[in-house]
Amino acid sequence: MSQKGYKQTLEERRRGELSLSEFAEYVEKQQANRYGGSQARDVSVAPSDSGYFTATRSTAVAEEHPELDILDQLGFSDSSPPVKLKSLLLDDSPDAETTLQQLATVVKSRVDEGQGETIFDLGQEDNGEWMGFNKEQWDLALRRLQEAAHLYQADCSVLLTYNVGGPAEAETKSDRIKSAYGKVLIRRVAGTVEDVIETRIAVVGNVDAGKSTLLGVLVKGKLDDGRGRARVNLFRHKHEIESGRTSSVGMEIMGFDTHGHIVGRGQQRKQSWEEIGRQSAKVISFTDLAGHERYLRTTVFGMLSSSPNYCLLMVAANNGLIGMSKEHLGIALSLNVPVMVVVTKIDICPPQILQQTLTQLTRILKSPGARKIPVFIKTLEETVNTATQFANQRICPIFQVSNVTGESLDLVRTFLNILPHHGHYNPDAPFEFLVNDTFSVPFVGTVVSGVVKSGVVHAGDNVLIGPDSLGQFRPTVIKSIERKRLPVHACSAGQSASFALKSVRRKEVRKGMVVLPKLEKPPRVFREFVAEGKYLPVPLLILSHATTIKPKYQAMLHVGAVSQTCAIIDIDRDFIRTGDRALVAFRFIQRPEFLSVGDRILFREGRTKGLGIVKAVSYDPKNPLNPNLKKPEEHNGTAQ
């Protein structure tokens, strides 16, 4: 390759990196508006070409005016000034019961806001002012906080303390914190299985990075023998056990009770999913994805179809960020999923090689494409403080662990226990369920599993499932619903579940279908749609490509649980290169699919990747995107 060509390649790569981070943020804002219900409409208006919309019904659009916040600080309100938390926490007067109810109201609002849990800064006001507690006052405040939490059927557990003493005392003394202070986890008791907090984590990394082994050690609580013994229970196929490599999308769960203790840890036998689900207040669902390049399609499908809240990137200390690790990191960044990194095998890695791996990680995470702030976590204090701030996607925590010696594994467990809720889900929108797997269960029938994209569904509801190869939807009834293999009566947006369907055969369902509510007008599906633009179509961003892309180019397109080959039939310019944002029209090759405006798309062909967000679900060949070209040939079946 000539020097000139090499320079062009580097420039294109930098353009792609910069465009990736900027465009991922743009997509996140678009989806936040959609799932958050800020783009609400009147229900009487036709919502979209597909017949469904995901905005909140009868909700007024709330405009933010930060310049008016000064009015709140000036105290012009007719209401009485807010009561300070310190007076509620230290009240031992005859009216203590009244203030305890006020404190319980504060706790309830924070727990509800955190989707069932919150971390309470005991010793600091909401405005950052220190309460100046001594040891006795902090103990009294903790007892009051526990009583208030119990009124709301929640439990408290101390995560970290300063100037208090005890097992949770911070190892480093901060000059900033001079009074007694601590972070307390408040978690609601799950009355039913429906109330259990669920966090989905996609586990990715290069082959032999130790993904399945780490999950086996975390879940079972027993260390590995250095030969992969801990990973055996996670494999689904015989050839995976023989080769030691994951080739499918594996699933494993890890439960925490209200006090943050791992459910079933230390017992002789591994607990079943049903036992973990019944005893847990919070469940971490791990999606163990394949690391070999041969299974990239399966890995990308697992990343998009499972709708992960977080991504756990595994890196072997003796190998570094090599092979598919960079591909997986790029996909996670393009999906704008918060990333945490676990460096494994530090017990067999020489110190200088480990340092090279950490230096490489730091350089890649700080690059223009990632723009992350690496945080190396080695203490409990760093674990708690980083987890509470992890909603800020600029932070990327890095753990260095050994599955054989157990070094830093407790820090990883603590971090997973207090991970905050992340994601935009709208339970008030019309129901939509993405099918990512199908089963045939004896004495039950056909079962489909997946994630509820929006809305709420109940057992016994009449629904539609499709589209089939002809674009048709089949009416059926949800006989029963299970979450984590436990029967439930309902399932809402953001939760994963399995539905048993009535009068549907296994061969009639497939991955990539959707389950929708039954309406008089059948939903429309589309074979063609457009990508990116300033008005209608899909923003499409080429992440990396060695050459140009023109019409007739074909690639594998991923939209949620849909994986199908697509062809580019029109572009708003002659060609697109790395880092370009363009208006692109796609056509599904095999069959039409159900799409919604705002869906995130990812297409790939080898190492070529494009990122986009659906903004229109139709394409008119009479109005080509590129006016300089001749009108494209007529296409039949734009909408099925």
Please state the CATH superfamily assignment of the domain spanning residues 528-628 in this structure. Translation factors (2.40.30.10)
For residue 111, pLDDT over 90 is answered with: yes
pLDDT at 71: 39
pLDDT band at 629 (very low <50, low <70, confident <90, very high): low
Per-residue confidence (pLDDT) for residue 79, from 0 to 100: 42
Answer whether residue 272 shows pLDDT above 90: no
Give, to the nearest 10 degrees, the angle between helix 3-36 and helix 324-334.
40
What count of other Cβ atoms lies within 10 Å of the Cβ of residue 267? 11
383 — alpha (psi -120 to 50), left (phi > 0) or beta? alpha
Q: How far apart are CA 331 and CA 122, in angstroms?
A: 39
Phi-psi region of 371 (alpha: psi -120 to 50; beta: other; left: phi over 0): left
Identity at 75, one-letter amino acid code: G
Predicted local confidence at residue 189, as pLDDT: 92
- Which of the listed ranges 2-6, 100-104, 167-171, 324-328 does the model predict with the highest average pLDDT? 100-104
- In single-letter form, the type of residue at position 152 comes to Y
Residue span(s) of the chain under CATH 2.40.30.10 come to 432-517, 528-628
Question: In the chain, where does the domain assigned CATH 3.40.50.300 lie?
Answer: 193-418
Given a cut of 60, whether residue 567 has pLDDT beyond it is yes
Q: For 132-139, what is the mean pLDDT?
A: 93
Instruction: Give residue-wise pLDDT tens across range 585-628.
Output: 899 999 999 988 778 888 877 666 778 888 788 888 888 888 77
Distance CA 576, CA 232 (A): 45
DSSP string, 313-330: EEEETTT-S-THHHHHHH
Cα–chain-centroid distance for residue 306?
8
205-250 pLDDT tens trace: 887 777 778 887 887 767 765 555 555 555 444 444 444 444 445 6
Q: Are 450 and 437 in contact (CB under 8 A)?
A: yes
Which residue intervals of 93-134 are DSSP H helices?
96-113
- With 90 as the cut, is the pLDDT of residue 52 above it? no
Tokens of 225: 């023998």
Q: Quote the strand ranges of 502-573, DSSP E.
A: 514-517, 528-531, 540-544, 554-559, 562-571
pLDDT for res 211:
77
Residues 199, 338: Cα–Cα separation, whole Å: 13
Give pLDDT, residue 225: 59
pLDDT at 21: 62
- Within 64-134, residue ranges assigned H as helices are 69-74, 85-89, 96-113
pLDDT: which is higher, 423 or 528: 528
Instruction: List, for residues 165-196, the tens digit of each pLDDT value.
Output: 888 888 776 778 889 999 999 999 988 888 89
Does 467 sit behind a cis peptide bond, omega within 30 degrees of 0 on the bond before it?
yes
| pTM of the entire predicted model | 0.82
If 0-12 CB within 10 Å is exposed, 13-18 middle and 19+ buried, where does residue 623 land? exposed
- For all residues of the chain together, what is the average pLDDT? 79
Question: Is the pLDDT at 8 greater than 60, yes or no?
Answer: no
* pLDDT tens by residue, 349-371: 999 999 999 999 999 999 887 88
409-417 and 380-388 helices, crossing angle to 10°: 30
d(CA 158, CA 421): 19
Q: Would you tell me which CATH number, out of the four given (3.40.50.360, 2.40.30.10, 3.40.640.10, 1.10.560.10), belongs to the domain 432-517? A: 2.40.30.10
DSSP one-letter code for 308: -
Q: How confident is the model at residue 159 (pLDDT cuts 50, 70, 90)?
A: very high
The token pair that represents 34 in the structure block: 């959609």
CATH topology (fold) of 193-418: Rossmann fold (3.40.50)
pLDDT at 416: 94
For residue 588, give the 3-state DSSP assignment. strand
Q: What is the DSSP string of 601-618?
A: EEEEETTEEEEEE--BS-
What distance in Å separates the CA atoms of residue 256 and residue 262, rounded to the nearest whole number?
Answer: 5
Percentage above 70 pLDDT, the chain: 76
Residue 428 backbone zone (phi > 0: left; psi -120 to 50: alpha; other: beta): alpha
